[in-house]
Structure 1
Amino acid sequence: MPRFVVLRHDLPPESGRGLHWDLMLEAADVLQTWALAEEPSADAGCLAERLPDHRRAYLDYEGEVSGGRGTVTRWDAGDYLPLPAEGESIVVELHGRRLRGTARLERPAADGQRWRFSFVEGAAASGRSGGVSGSDCLESRGTV
């Protein structure tokens, strides 16, 4: 099953962009990435911005980001199951330490990189139990 990670991304004040959470979904050899405006929480939504794909190294990384782009700290990690979706949306069943349920990313047709993230706790369709395995929680520190 593909993996996901949510990283708390603290940026320096001069960056012009505040604290956000990076949701990263493993897709082949890259991580599809969205910057969430707020900490993910059950039954609440927030704005999300589609970012360029990131390297898979971020699945297991915490620490400084190169180029003075702040630091990232793992907020959650696990695996996910893609679910059927309609139109401009992505729906996944998350099996993380904190996020266990259904996440939806929806993009209004004319809104480019702007998306809406929502999460419903425990709304899993597959009935799969359990969370992340030990290998999903490997920590590495350094600079990416």
Structure 2
Amino acid sequence: MPRYALLRHTGAPDDPSGCHVDLLLEDGDSCRTWRLSTVPQLNEEAQPAVPLPAHRRVWLEPRSAAVSGNRGWAERIHAGSYSGVLPKAADADVTLQFEGDLQGCLNIAAGHCCLSNP
């Protein structure tokens, strides 16, 4: 099964809040990635999900390390696997079933992300 991970990313020069969460979904040789304000919680209100450039799959492994290009520090804080089909189009709505640290149905649509009961 493909994997997901959430990273706590601090010190990113383009992040005025100083800390955000990167949501990574394994997609072949890389990971589709979105910037979230916080870790999605089951049945909470949807939060903005900003698409980011693809991340390397190495971030799916347990690690805490400097981000290349002097872009802060990232630490994997949650991980697991997902089922469902990741759409080919990067801007298409995403609906996947999470298993692992986070469990539930992940939805990314219209620039927002939420985690709900299956």
TM-score normalised to the size of structure 1? 0.70
Alignment gaps of 5+ in structure 2: none
Which whole-Å CA distance do the structure 2 matches of 1:5 and 1:16 have between them? 21
> 1:29 maps to what in 2?
29
> 2:96 maps to what in 1?
92
How big is each residue's C-alpha offset from its partner over 1:10-63, in whole Å with a ceiling of 9 and x where there is no partner?
115xx2412110000001111000001223212122101001111111111322
Matched, 1:118 2:118: no
Return the letter of the residue paired with 1:77: A
Which whole-Å CA distance do the structure 1 matches of 2:52 and 2:84 have between them? 19
RMSD across aligned C-alpha pairs, in angstroms?
2.0
Moved over 2 A (4+): none
Give 3-state SS (helix, strand or coil) of 1:69's partner: coil
For this pair of structures, how many residues does the alignment match?
A: 111
Matched, 1:62 2:64: yes
Residue 82 to residue 67, structure 1, CA distance change in 2 (3 Å): same
Residue 66 to residue 37, structure 1, CA distance change in 2 (3 Å): same
Which whole-Å CA distance do the structure 2 matches of 1:73 and 1:119 have between them? 21
Q: Is the 8 A contact 2:8 2:21 kept in 1?
A: yes
> 1:129 maps to what in 2?
none
Alignment gaps of 5+ in structure 1: 108-114, 125-144
Q: Give the percent of matched residue pairs that are identical in Structure 1 and Structure 2.
A: 32
Return the letter of the residue paired with 1:81: S
Which whole-Å CA distance do the structure 1 matches of 2:84 and 2:96 have between them? 4
Say which one has the larger Rg. Answer: 1
Which whole-Å CA distance do the structure 1 matches of 2:99 and 2:71 have between them? 29
Deviation of 1:84 after TM superposition, in Å, equals 8.9
Return the letter of the residue paired with 2:107: R
